[in-house]
Amino acid sequence: MYPHDYHLHSNFSCDGKASIVEQCLSAMAKGIPEIGITDHFDLHPGDECAGFFRPIEWAAEFDRARREFEGRLIVRAGIELGEPHIYQAECQALLKSYPFDYALGSLHWVGDEVVFDRQYFRRPADEAYGLFFEELERMTRVGGIDILSHFDVVVRVGKPVYGGYDPRRYEEVIRAVLKNCIEHGIALDLNTQGLRNRCQLLTPGVEILRWYREMGGERVTLGSDAHQPDDIAANFDLAIEALRAAGLQYVTMFEQREARLITI
Ligand SMILES: [Zn+2]
Ligand SMILES: [Zn+2]
């Protein structure tokens, strides 16, 4: 069975469709032994989720759910930080306010443009992808996160717009991102959400995973990015297939921001 699902949203995210308890029940029904709840903490003023996360109420409900499932399901306290390199002080303050097990770092905005809006893709593909990866390099250089979310999420909207995507065109900057991750011990979130939308891609795919392994990277987590219970662990068979094809052997578990590798 799958070891965990480390990227899940509850209705403490503005776009979440399920309570923490409903997500836990679905994970148990699917036989997943460990999950992490990773609601959005977004501060970009243009973001639809900006200011939505309520840390005190979240902690109360999270603690209640964790107790309710004790002995049946391990529930990790995660958070999905948007642009943590830009909102460093706010993100670090949040991480100090509660004993989180891990922090995902996510790049959804490049400057004042969100990469889920087709407007971002009015420019040539190389420019759209290049700007995204350069910003991702700046974000990972700062560190302060445990897991890098959905590496090349820009393709979710970009690939259908341009009709293709070849990470080899951006190999140099992608390798710079991977180097930052390895140096800071940041794991890669092998995110299956793209397999449920029009881009039909795992983010990152096997090519990037292979570069990561060649460079000495070992830390990978599995994430469905489920905003509703049905999507928990969706397409994890394909994620594990990609992991193995890239020559990676472990999945990384987190507790109190300490990583532990288990063989897959
Ligand atoms: Zn995200
Ligand atoms: Zn997410």
Tokens of 227: 């905003």
- The string of DSSP letters for 71-97 reads TT-EEEEEEEEESTTTSHHHHHHHHHH
Predicted local confidence at residue 115, as pLDDT: 98
Q: From ligand 2's centre to the CA of 126, what distance in Å? A: 25
Predicted local confidence at residue 17, as pLDDT: 96
For residue 152, give every residue at least 6 positions away whose Cβ sits within 8 Å of its Cβ, in sequence order, or none: 129, 132, 133, 165, 167, 174, 201, 203, 204, 205, 208
Q: From ligand 2's centre to the CA of 13, what distance in Å? A: 9
Predicted local confidence at residue 238, as pLDDT: 97
Predicted local confidence at residue 91, as pLDDT: 98
Predicted local confidence at residue 19, as pLDDT: 98
Strand partners, 251: 262
Classified as helix, coil or strand, 262 is strand
Per residue of the chain (264 residues), what is the pLDDT tens digit? 899 999 999 999 999 999 999 999 999 999 999 999 999 999 999 999 999 999 999 999 999 999 999 999 999 999 999 999 999 999 999 999 999 999 999 999 999 999 999 999 999 999 999 999 999 999 999 999 999 999 999 999 999 999 999 999 999 999 999 999 999 999 999 999 999 998 999 999 999 999 999 999 999 999 999 999 999 999 999 999 999 999 999 999 999 999 999 999
Predicted local confidence at residue 170, as pLDDT: 98
Q: From ligand 2's centre to the CA of 227, what distance in Å? A: 8
Q: From ligand 1's centre to the CA of 15, what distance in Å? A: 11
